[in-house]
Amino acid sequence: MQWLLLALISAVFASAALLIEKKTLAREHAMEFSAALAFFNLILSVPFLFFVDYSRLQIIPLVYIFFLMILVAMAFLLIAKSIRHMEVSAVAPFLALTPAVTAIFAFMFFNEALGPIQILGIALILIGAYVLELHSAHNLLEPFRIILKSKYVHFVILGVVIYGVSASFDRMILSKYDFQPLAYLVFANIFLAFHFSIMMSMFHDGFRGLRKSINKFGWMLLLLSVFTIAYRLSMFEALKVEFAGLVVSVQKMSVFFAVVIGGGIFKERSILRKAVASLIMIGGMLFIIL
């Protein structure tokens, strides 16, 4: 049962990372926050370079990862903007949409099977998303209005869609090219830091803004970076000894933890409804994975 403990550890670290992200973004610009976090992730990834088996590295997957991280940077920034302006208990359940997007994209472009159980899982995730935005039983159309009109809901959904697409390519790179998970983590963090430095220079105030963010929130960003790397590595370790479906389903309990704990910490509304929505979406995700 070592995999179960590792997956639960990953879920705890992932939910803690989301809560710290919300607390930091309450007082920080999303772009500066994202770039500063990418910088800390890069610094903490440097020691792992000594454990990479460089004889197994190939140029083609590294090129794929370089360009894929452009999409990941965009997705991270969009979700950071949503977390900054929405309740964390409202954003977190949307993150459970990623497996549905990945399954649909893999079916459309990689000819992977999408059977009745997977379709049921996608339906449950959509039902959970509906319950998440259902504020009144007397106005059943309200969730559609919120989803259509709220730009921050659009941001988080677009970010999740991009993450879902990138996850399909992640799986392709790790399986087709037998790429080391640890090497993937290290080079992904290197490329993300590079892309965010370019984005900061083009669309924000460059390294001045990065330095300002580090000066203001350095310790929180460092802690967030530690939690981020910890939940990714513990998940990788769990995947070594157990099927991905079981590991991911347990790890996604982070969504439920973030809703319940984060909603209480930040005194957010309708926690029970959001917790129920989270469980429905996690159940749908389990069907998709199985």
pTM for the model: 0.83
Least confident of 17-21, 31-35, 239-243: 239-243
What's the confidence (pLDDT) of residue 59? Answer: 93
What is residue 284's predicted lDDT score, i.e. its pLDDT? 83
Task: Give the pLDDT score at 263.
Answer: 78
Distant-in-sequence contacts of 101-104, Cβ < 8 A, 24+ apart:
101/160, 101/161, 101/163, 101/164, 101/165, 101/167, 102/164, 102/165, 102/167, 102/168, 103/288, 104/164
Least confident of 52-61, 79-88, 104-113, 198-207: 104-113
Q: Are 252 and 11 in contact (CB under 8 A)?
A: yes
Q: Is the pLDDT of residue 219 over 60?
A: yes
pLDDT of residue 279: 86
Answer yes or no: is pLDDT of 52 > 60: yes
- The DSSP code sequence of the chain is -HHHHHHHHHHHHHHHHHHHHHHHHTSS-HHHHHHHHHHHHHHHHGGGGGG--GGG--HHHHHHHHHHHHHHHHHHHHHHHHHHHS-HHHHGGGGGGHHHHHHHHHHHHS-----HHHHHHHHHHHHHHHHHT---TT-TTHHHHHHHH-HHHHHHHHHHHHHHHHHHHHHHHHHHS---HHHHHHHHHHHHHHHHHHHHHHHS-HHHHHHHHHHHHHHHHHHHHHHHHHHHHHHHHHHHHS-HHHHHHHHTHHHHHIIIIIHHHTT-S-HHHHHHHHHHHHHHHHHHH-
Per-residue model confidence (pLDDT) at position 214: 86
User: Average pLDDT in the 77-86 region?
Assistant: 91
pLDDT given for residue 213 in this prediction: 83
Flag whether pLDDT at 137 surpasses 60. no
Give the pLDDT of residue 44: 92
**Percent of the residues in the chain that have a pLDDT greater than 70, as a whole number:** 89
Residue 34 has pLDDT above 80, yes or no: yes
Query: Mean pLDDT score of the chain, rounded to an integer?
Result: 83
Q: Which of 39-48, 133-142, 169-178 has the highest mean pLDDT?
A: 39-48
Query: Can you state the angle between helices 98-109 and 116-132, rounded to 10 degrees?
Result: 140
Mean pLDDT value across residues 63-83:
94
Q: What is the mean pLDDT of residues 237-261?
A: 72
